[in-house]
Amino acid sequence: MSKTVVNADDSRVNVLIRLVGILFFFLGVAMTYETSVQAAADGIQPPLVPVLYLCSIMLLLAGLVAIVSKYKGSGTPKA
């Protein structure tokens, strides 16, 4: 069996990146929901709707990438 060494600083960075990813993901979901509700109620201008959907999709994708990413410091040796 191989022993794995846990670096506390790297694990904290990984947790922080995932938390920011979760925040971005939920911001994207909330922005999509609010855009759809306001577009249905004619609360926003119609030309603005695709831009808001594009922004929410970008937030969703950035959140998903951050959730599945793994930080590896530049000074750590490759295993």
Give domain limits for the chain: 19-68
Tokens at 28, concatenated: 């994207």
pLDDT at 72: 76
pLDDT at 23: 97
Contacts made by residues 37-42, CB under 8 angstroms, sequence distance 24+ = none
**Distance of alpha carbon 64 from alpha carbon 71, whole angstroms:** 15
pLDDT at 77: 61
66 or 44, greater pLDDT: 66
39 or 61, greater pLDDT: 61
Question: Half-sphere exposure of 35 toward its Cβ, with a 13 Å CA cutoff?
Answer: 18
12-49 pLDDT tens trace: 888 899 999 999 999 999 999 999 999 888 888 889 99
